[in-house]
């Protein structure tokens, strides 16, 4: 559906200094009660997309304000907005986690502030640090073990969280519900390449069958849904604290999905920077910390589920790159990886790396 000019103009106000200044002056000090008056504001856009059918914004606001004692204080706030209103869901889910133990300690979520309905924007306090992925590019030879342990501990804490599914009305994760829909991307792949169309159609059908077999006997838990190194924020690689951002995909489902997503994305995002040997070691280390036992002692049944979701994540990444009109070689490689992970899932082999 075509996006209206009015919607675009309304959302674009997020870049208007006067408009945002007034929003912060009115709303911000509810969350920072020592504040009295905004005295400076700098806006940095990280994403500003105004397309025919969608609008997406990610903006950083560096704020200076005076507190009740007349002292100058500084604060950084981010806003994430999408015309599909998905950021409202992220806001609501972040609030739930923030109120259920993720507001303190070493394993946290970014602090949610408020949702601006007219702009469809979620405002949240900036997390101190950088994404885990950014450290791949800065120093590939660094020791990633402390951060990987934190990542395993954080997702374990989430999986251990007991929440009332009926009250929350969160979705159950299902492979068939991915976006764009399988019917669309399979058709589009066929139009682009018949061989890749056949491959992706078979992959989707086979993993759907495996998922149904697994879900039949599973108790579903809270899952993050998109657990990868760009959403993990640490101050440095020796940090003892971790904050997570972006809670759009939280749902109820198989907790092994989060492990499979993290392992495949750590592999995919890291292979241009880290050695294959290191990646494989780190992947095993992540699982050892999650299960709190030696890799060889992890029950074999977990591997079929983890590899199913490694396969799904590789397929999902291929679809994403396909619609970005990006590197076609990466698409083919991801589909081949997806098939290999799926074969590991079918065999039940205690293996999580392909290379």
pLDDT one-digit tens code per residue, 69-105: 999 999 999 999 999 988 999 999 999 999 999 999 9
State whether 150 and 74 are in the same domain: no
pLDDT given for residue 253 in this prediction: 94
pLDDT given for residue 102 in this prediction: 97
Lowest mean pLDDT among 50-64, 97-111, 131-145, 317-331: 317-331
pLDDT given for residue 82 in this prediction: 94
On the question of pLDDT at 326 being above 70, the answer is no
State whether 111 and 137 are in the same domain: no
Contact (CB, 8 A) for 63 and 24: yes
Indicate the pLDDT class of residue 144, thresholds 50, 70 and 90.
Answer: very high
pLDDT given for residue 37 in this prediction: 94
On the question of pLDDT at 352 being above 80, the answer is yes
State whether 159 and 275 are in the same domain: yes
pTM over 0.85: yes
Contact (CB, 8 A) for 90 and 252: no
248 lies in a domain?
A: yes
320 lies in a domain?
A: yes
Contact (CB, 8 A) for 48 and 27: no
State whether 138 and 111 are in the same domain: no
314 lies in a domain?
A: yes
Distance in angstroms (rounded) separating the CA atoms of residues 133 and 266: 8
pLDDT given for residue 239 in this prediction: 95
Looking at per-residue pLDDT, the higher value among 149 and 50 belongs to: 149
Indicate the pLDDT class of residue 261, thresholds 50, 70 and 90.
Answer: very high
State whether 222 and 299 are in the same domain: yes
Indicate the pLDDT class of residue 52, thresholds 50, 70 and 90.
Answer: confident
**111: exposed, middle or buried (Cβ count in 10 Å: 0-12, 13-18, 19+):** middle
On the question of pLDDT at 22 being above 90, the answer is yes
Q: Read off the pLDDT of residues 213-260 as tens digits, 9 standing for 90 and up.
A: 887 778 889 999 999 999 999 999 999 999 999 898 999 999 999 999
The CB density around residue 89, as the number of other CB atoms within 10 Å, is 19
What is the SS3 string spanning 278-296?
A: HHHHHHHHHHHHHHCCCHH
State whether 170 and 97 are in the same domain: no
Structural domain count, the chain: 2
354 lies in a domain?
A: no
Q: Indicate the residue among 102, 125, 148 that finishes a domain.
A: 125
Average pLDDT over residues 260-289: 96
For 115, the domain range is: 5-125
State whether 322 and 180 are in the same domain: yes
Average pLDDT over residues 98-119: 96
Choose from 2-11, 36-45, 48-57, 217-226 the range with maximum mean pLDDT.
36-45
Average pLDDT over residues 156-183: 90
pLDDT given for residue 327 in this prediction: 65
Q: Indicate the residue among 106, 125, 144 that finishes a domain.
A: 125
């Amino acid at each position: 559906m075509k996006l209206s000019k009015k919607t675009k103009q309304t959302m674009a106000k997020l870049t208007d200094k006067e408009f945002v200044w007034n929003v912060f002056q009115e709303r911000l000090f509810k969350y920072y009660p020592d504040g009295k008056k905004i005295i400076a504001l700098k806006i940095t856009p990280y994403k500003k997309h105004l397309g025919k059918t969608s609008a997406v914004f990610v903006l950083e606001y560096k704020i200076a304000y005076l507190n009740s004692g007349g002292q100058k204080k500084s604060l950084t706030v981010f806003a994430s907005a999408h015309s599909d209103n998905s950021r409202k869901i992220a806001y609501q889910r972040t609030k739930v986690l923030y109120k259920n133990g993720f507001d303190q300690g070493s394993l946290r979520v970014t602090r949610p502030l408020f949702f601006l309905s007219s702009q469809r924007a979620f405002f949240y306090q900036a997390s101190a640090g950088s994404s885990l992925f950014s450290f791949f590019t800065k120093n590939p030879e660094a020791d990633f073990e402390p951060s990987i342990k934190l990542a395993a501990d954080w997702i374990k804490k989430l999986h251990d969280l007991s929440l009332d599914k009926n009250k929350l009305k969160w979705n159950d994760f299902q492979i068939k519900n991915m976006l764009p829909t399988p019917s669309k991307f399979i058709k589009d792949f066929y139009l682009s390449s018949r061989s890749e169309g056949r491959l992706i159609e078979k992959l989707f059908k086979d993993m759907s069958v495996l998922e149904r077999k697994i879900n039949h006997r599973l108790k579903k838990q809270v899952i993050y849904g998109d657990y990868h190194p760009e959403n993990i924020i640490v101050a440095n690689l020796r940090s003892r604290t971790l904050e997570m951002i972006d809670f759009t995909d939280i749902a109820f489902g198989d907790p092994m999905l989060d492990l499979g997503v993290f392992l495949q994305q750590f592999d995919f995002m890291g292979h241009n920077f880290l050695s294959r040997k290191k990646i494989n070691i780190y992947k095993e280390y992540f699982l050892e910390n999650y299960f709190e036992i030696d890799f060889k002692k992890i029950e074999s049944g977990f591997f079929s589920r983890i590899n199913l979701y490694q396969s799904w994540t590789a397929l999902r990444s291929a679809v994403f790159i396909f619609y970005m009109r990006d590197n076609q070689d990466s698409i083919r490689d991801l589909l081949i990886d997806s098939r290999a992970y799926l074969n590991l899932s079918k065999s039940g082999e205690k293996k999580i790396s392909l290379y």
